[in-house]
Amino acid sequence: MTTENGWRQRYEPVIGLEIHVQLSTRTKMFCGCELSFGEQPNLHTCPICLAHPGSLPVTNEQAVRYALQIALALDCEIAPRSIFHRKNYFYPDNPKAYQISQYDIPLATAGRLGDVRIHRVHLEEDAAKLVHVSASGRIHGSGSSLVDFNRGGTPLVEIVTEPDLDDPATAREWLQLLRTTIKQIGVSDVNMEEGSLRCDANVSLRPVGADALGVKAELKNMNSFRFLERGINAELERQAALLDAEEQVEQETLHFDPRSGELTPLRSKEYAHDYRYFPEPDLVPLAPTEAMLSEARESLPELPASRRERYLAELELADKQATQLAFDADLGAYFEAALAAADGTTPKVIANWVTGELVASLREAKADDADPASSRVSPDALAKLAGMVERKEISTGAARRVLATLVAEGGDPTRIVEREGLGQLDDSGELEAIVARAVESDPEAAARVRDGNMKAIGPLVGFVMRETKGRADGGEVTRLIRERLGLG
Amino acid sequence: MASPTTSELLELTAAGALRRIDEGELPADEVFDAYAEVAAAEELNAYLWRAEPGTRPTPPSADESEQLRGLPVAVKDLFCTEGIKTTAGSRILEGYRPPYTATAVRRLSQAGARVLGKTNMDEFAMGSSNENSAYGPVLNPWDRARVPGGSSGGSAAAVAGRLAPWAIGTDTGGSIRQPASLCGIVGLKPTYGAISRYGMVAFASSLDQCGPLTRDVTDAALLLRAMEGRDPLDSTSVGIDGGVELPSREDLGGLRVGVARDFSHHAEGVEPGVAETFERSLATIEQLGGSIEEIELPHAEHGISAYYVLAPAEASANLARYDGVRYGLRVDGVADLVAMYERTRARGFGLEVKRRIMLGTYALSSGYYEAYYGSAQKVRTLIARDFERAFERCDLVVTPTSPSVAFELGARTADPLAMYLSDYFTVPMSLAGIPAISIPAGLAEPPGGGTPLPVGLQLAAPAFAESRLLDAAHALELAIDFQERPA
């Protein structure tokens, strides 16, 4: 958003997120139907998830285990006994006309991820998918609506943060951290485009320095990280304009339209409910056993926050680099694989090559998928290349050329170096002879350097590099030229 | 012994018929056909669906060890039966054929029983007279101008009227015990969780329980034994630990029987005939060696009030799924979705169901929840505690089953509160989740005179003490020796 941000001197944004994560269990939350995506509609249904008379829910134990893992990864306190409630509302995506969810006693509370406190984590079931046959894609004004119950009853974990975020970009970064954390646990695909990760935001402004919270709006349908940031930005601008005009912000739910970037209020019938929560009499309380808890605790992999700590403390990576590798699941996994393949190469050097050169060359090569894991450059090859640079077997320039070849066709860096004759010149006699020729070929530059103008050394170094096809080490070349010109 | 005549056959208890089948005196198919024929010609409106005479529904397990030998059983139309229409007494489920069978019915089939018919009932089990059925009231076989009780009125009338050897029903606040009492038969509400609720169309999930309606206590034990057990499809089912023994006791020696006089004697609206019969039952208990213990159930009298908050609250959610979208009735030709919901539900539900949906929705509404639902839950807990304390001092509790004998059709339809009080004695046990049985205790003239009508005695026991309950009921049944039959 590029509008004036002058209001930032006057108001402070307060942002909280509500995240829904579809668990990748084999079956649904309360029945035995398999989970599916993109299959023929209404294939995976049964009397329970179609809410036939007399059918009853039974809690999916695997979903409970997965939810416990998420809650523990978010450093939450697990309730010894949590209960399910019925959340009542009529809508065709909700065949029982109530959603089984958790209400006053959720699975877990009081956690933290990074700088954001977690208010609660609870289990519930997903709604069915509505397909509205109309241009707007929304139910009002559509000619007809179709219901696909395949998704209905998919296990969901809802994560609610405290309003600890104060900036749209930070909100986006934090959601990425949450995504990586859950992806590493392996309990969800956490794919925003496919809807296995969904995020709503509660957004308000308050005068800088004020304690009381302003009136919040709830933003829905921001189905990518970019849209989340854009949506919150748009809402902050809107609220700031209202406050500047001394108008009231109304508590409402807004729908983000990614095509126009606009926020439109949802009609009250779509959201203004008295949900008439009451305890679900068909289910018994959820009381995780000590064995379930310790099993969930033990099965947690290294999570981004502790991985970042390890990168800083043990691998001595720079802060920014450690964060990038720890919080980006794909890049982090690639780095770990390269580390494992490395033979004594300093981790920091490998990290530089992964976060710097590799990411840049993949982007430059406009690879369809910038994900390093699916590129032609194997972690093994990258580790080898970084090792060769560190041992000064090849120059940095030569290594870049090798990497370009790897990106284009893959292969073994050692062979590429051999094939293209890119090995470092370690015969100092040969290099000295080329340096001598360089000085002879450009006496003018040589004279200026001799007079102390070090900027003039460029053409001389360039000559040597051309002659050696970039195999020479830049520092060594400079040293030899200065020596040759009597500068020591 | 020669094979019995049809009228003799129809007088047999199920256990009696089984014995004859086992002894080779009676072909099982003959029993089924005899009942299918009388059910086809019945005049009580007890059935909503009947198996054709001569049909041979194949039981899922034709196991030799099957105990029930192809005996017919009448099933309340609240149980889902695969491919057989299931209406729950409501228009909103008109034409609905479930894709699956309720666990209780499946267990009966596995034990060798065959479904004879689906019995009429108060719509969604809401009622105490069977006048709330969308398919017309059931008539009491003792007096066709009177109600059979409800909501399992069709099952009770079928068993009492010799249209079925036995039946199953459901009891949420008295829906098995009260019609059993009004029809002069045995009705058992087991402990909540004894029998799976899977496939039983839900009314009030925390109270609904399936149970038998039979000619005697032994038959009730047989049906309970066939149906009880933990079901992986019902998280709240646990079964009865140690199973169910067939009752054998003939005395009550050493048993302490609790009577809460404040609750059972001083209640308003108990008919004199009912009170006298109850006093005679207490005397019989003592003659059988049982001791009468004075106990207190100080909160039981508030049972009806709590029940009529909790049950409608749960019902308002349970009945919300009948929206015209996926099955059953749908009123088409309306402008939008909400209009379709409204028109479908307006046409599909009867008055009492609508009344309870409104009550329940109100009780759960934001701002009222604590005052209604919250308080009712507290009363429920207090009543459960009353029984726990009582059972420290006695083994069983007895009360009349119903404050009245069968009343005339239409007598209470204009006064819902009077109708609700029919369940005054049965609701507290439902709220406490404990087992209770009604057995015929005698006949009494209705107020204002007329043909004497059956009066029931209710016995209640601690949770899962069904064997104790059935044993005591068996001893009383022998002593009372109720031989009267509807004309």
A436: domain CATH number? 1.10.10
Domain-embedded: residue A328 = yes
CA distance B196 to B204: 14
Instruction: List the beta bridge partners of residue B188.
Output: B437
At residue A75, the pLDDT reads 92
pLDDT at B78 over 90: yes
The rounded percent of chain A whose pLDDT value lies above 90 is: 36
Are residues A228 and A319 located together in one domain of the fold? no
Domain-embedded: residue A316 = yes
> How close, in Å, is residue A117 to chain B by CA atoms?
29
Q: Stretch A398-427: mean pLDDT, rounded?
A: 76
Give the tens place of pLDDT for each residue, A73-98.
999 999 999 999 999 999 999 999 99
Q: Which residue of A has its CA nearest to B124?
A: A53
**What residues of chain A lie within 8 A of the CB of B369, using their CB?**
276-278
Are residues A341 and A398 located together in one domain of the fold? yes
> How close, in Å, is residue A133 to chain B by CA atoms?
14
| Contact yes or no for B233 and A58 at CB 8 A | yes
| Contact yes or no for B198 and A54 at CB 8 A | yes
> How close, in Å, is residue B177 to chain A by CA atoms?
22
Name residues whose C-beta falls within 8 Å of residue B187's C-beta, 6 or more positions apart in sequence: B152, B156, B169, B171, B176, B177, B178, B179, B180, B181, B211, B212, B213, B214, B220, B437, B438, B456
Cβ-contact A47, B100 below 8 angstroms:
yes
Give the tens place of pLDDT for each residue, A118-128.
999 999 999 99
Q: B458 or A374: which carries more pLDDT confidence?
A: B458
Looking up tokens 């005339």, which residue turns up? Answer: B408
At residue B354, the pLDDT reads 97
Interface test with chain B among A29, A56, A85, A99, by most B beta carbons within 10 Å: A56
At residue A134, the pLDDT reads 65
Are residues A284 and A335 located together in one domain of the fold? no
pLDDT at A2 over 50: no
pLDDT at A285 over 90: yes
pLDDT at B64 over 60: no
Query: Of the given ranges (A183-197, B157-171, B296-310), which has the lowest mean pLDDT?
Result: A183-197
Are residues A308 and A224 located together in one domain of the fold? no
Catalytic residues of B: 76, 151, 175
- In three-state secondary structure terms, A375 is coil
CA distance B179 to B157: 8
Number of structural domains found in chain B: 1
Are residues A156 and A189 located together in one domain of the fold? yes
Domain assignment of residue A150, given as a range: 6-296
Interface predicted TM-score of the whole assembly (ipTM), two decimals: 0.94
- Taking any CB pair shorter than 8 Å as contact, residues of chain A touching chain B are 47, 50-59, 86, 88, 90, 92, 95-98, 139, 145, 147, 269, 274, 276-278, 281-284
| Contact yes or no for B313 and A54 at CB 8 A | no
- Which band of pLDDT confidence, cut at 50, 70 and 90, is reported for residue B63? low
Domain-embedded: residue A1 = no
At residue A1, the pLDDT reads 43
At residue A479, the pLDDT reads 83
| Contact yes or no for B320 and A283 at CB 8 A | no
| Contact yes or no for A281 and B365 at CB 8 A | no
Are residues A285 and A319 located together in one domain of the fold? no
**In chain B, what are the helix, strand and coil shares in percent, each to the nearest 5?**
40, 15, 45
- Which band of pLDDT confidence, cut at 50, 70 and 90, is reported for residue B355? very high
Helix (H), strand (E) at residue A21: strand A11-22
Give the tens place of pLDDT for each residue, A23-60.
999 999 999 999 998 889 999 999 999 999 999 999 99
Buried residues in A372-385 as b, exposed as e (16+ CB within 10 A): beebebbbebbbbb
- Which band of pLDDT confidence, cut at 50, 70 and 90, is reported for residue A139? low
Number of structural domains found in chain A: 3
| Contact yes or no for A58 and B232 at CB 8 A | yes
| Contact yes or no for B80 and A54 at CB 8 A | yes
- Which band of pLDDT confidence, cut at 50, 70 and 90, is reported for residue B384? very high
> How close, in Å, is residue A88 to chain B by CA atoms?
7
Domain final position from A395, A420, A445:
A420
Are residues A74 and A99 located together in one domain of the fold? yes
Are residues A237 and A326 located together in one domain of the fold? no
Q: Which residue of B has its CA nearest to A278?
A: B364
pLDDT at A190 over 60: yes
pLDDT at A416 over 90: no
pLDDT at A178 over 70: yes
Q: Stretch B2-12: mean pLDDT, rounded?
A: 82
Interface test with chain B among A27, A55, A148, by most B beta carbons within 10 Å: A55
At residue A366, the pLDDT reads 66
**What residues of chain B lie within 8 A of the CB of A145, using their CB?**
337
Cβ-contact B435, B194 below 8 angstroms:
yes
| Contact yes or no for A47 and B373 at CB 8 A | no
Are residues A24 and A98 located together in one domain of the fold? yes
Q: What is the pTM of this model?
A: 0.86
Q: B267 or B434: which carries more pLDDT confidence?
A: B434
Domain-embedded: residue A362 = yes
Query: Of the given ranges (A262-271, A384-393, A438-447), which has the lowest mean pLDDT?
Result: A262-271
Are residues A146 and A40 located together in one domain of the fold? yes
pLDDT at B203 over 60: yes
Are residues A310 and A324 located together in one domain of the fold? yes
* Max intra-chain CA distance, chain B: 70
- Which band of pLDDT confidence, cut at 50, 70 and 90, is reported for residue A309? confident
Q: Stretch B240-247: mean pLDDT, rounded?
A: 92
**What residues of chain B lie within 8 A of the CB of A100, using their CB?**
none
The closest alpha carbon to B128, from B468, B416, B375, belongs to B416
DSSP state string for B151-168: SSHHHHHHHHTTS-S-EE
Domain assignment of residue B200, given as a range: 1-63+71-487
| Contact yes or no for A139 and B337 at CB 8 A | yes
Of the partner residues B96, B199, B323, the one whose CB lies closest to the CB of residue A90: B323
Give the tens place of pLDDT for each residue, A236-257.
988 888 888 888 888 888 888 8
Of the partner residues A95, A98, A284, the one whose CB lies closest to the CB of residue B236: A284
Interface test with chain B among A31, A50, A52, by most B beta carbons within 10 Å: A52
Take residue B167 and report the two structure tokens written for it: 């039946």
Helix (H), strand (E) at residue B85: none
Domain-embedded: residue A156 = yes
Domain final position from A420, A451, A473:
A420
Of the partner residues B86, B197, B338, the one whose CB lies closest to the CB of residue A56: B197
Look over chain A and give the mean of its residue pLDDT values, rounded to a whole number. Answer: 86
- Which band of pLDDT confidence, cut at 50, 70 and 90, is reported for residue A145? confident
Take residue A373 and report the two structure tokens written for it: 């894991």
At residue A242, the pLDDT reads 86
Q: Stretch A125-132: mean pLDDT, rounded?
A: 91
pLDDT at A271 over 60: no
Domain final position from A420, A455, A476:
A420
| Contact yes or no for B206 and A281 at CB 8 A | yes
**CATH number of the domain within which B204 lies:** 3.90.1300.10
At residue B154, the pLDDT reads 98
Strand order in the sheet with B167-171: B47-50, B114-119, B72-76, B167-171, B209-214, B186-189, B436-444, B453-460, B396-400, B256-259, B291-294
> How close, in Å, is residue B348 to chain A by CA atoms?
15
Cβ-contact A22, A196 below 8 angstroms:
yes
At residue A431, the pLDDT reads 79
Q: Which residue of B has its CA nearest to A279?
A: B314
Are residues A282 and A310 located together in one domain of the fold? no
